[in-house]
Amino acid sequence: MTSAIDKTSLAEAPKAQGTQRWYVAQVQPRKEQLALAHLRRQRFVTYCPIIKRTRRLRKQSVSTAEPLFPGYVFVALDCEREPWRSVNGTIGVLRLVSFGMQPAVMPRGFVEQLQNLAGDDGHVRFDEALRPGDGVRIVGGPFDGLCGSLASSGGRERVTVLLQMLAGETKVTMPRSSLIAT
């Protein structure tokens, strides 16, 4: 079972400063808090979006706060001026996600949009205003990045999304927390 995450240490919503851009650091399994603490000690601006998940455990519903992207955290850097290679040597961090010799930069506004979706409790919520027929984009899992439309909502936790794939439309059932309105 995944342990509860301290929402105050993970979901603080710092903003990238000036010429900084957001990058992704891969962290050791279930070591997001450790990596964030050590990155912050080095004065890096970090962010780890969290979501509330409800699971059945021994016939009871248990809610936990978990990272939206388990095993990854965001780090704001100015690669021209900051010692970004020191991120790779940080306790809890495996590496900055890179293509070639340079770290891969996140699209502008992506992390800021996640921060804007966080409520007062720090949890990111994607599904507040989704209705059948709304356009959605899938975040995480095997269909990450695909767009479709919300076909139906089977309750608070599961939804059916209609995706345009290959030669036609395909219905996929997934957690409601995996959707972003487009």
Give pLDDT tens digits for 75-125: 999 988 888 899 999 999 999 999 888 899 999 999 998 888 887 787 887
Give how far the C-alpha of residue 56 lies from the chain's centroid of Cα atoms, to the nearest Å: 23
Among 16-20, 52-56, 139-143, 169-173, the range scoring the smallest mean pLDDT is 52-56
The DSSP symbol for 19 reads: T
User: What CATH number does the domain located at 135-181 have?
Assistant: 2.30.30.30
* Domain 7-116 identical in fold to domain 135-181: no
> Which sequence spans correspond to the domains of the chain?
7-116, 135-181
> Residue 27: what pLDDT?
97
The residues, any chain, with a CB within 8 Å of residue 148's CB and separated by 6 or more, are: 135, 136, 138, 161, 162, 163, 164, 172
User: What CATH number does the domain located at 7-116 have?
Assistant: 3.30.70.940
Residue 151 or residue 142, greater confidence: 151
Average pLDDT score over the chain? 83
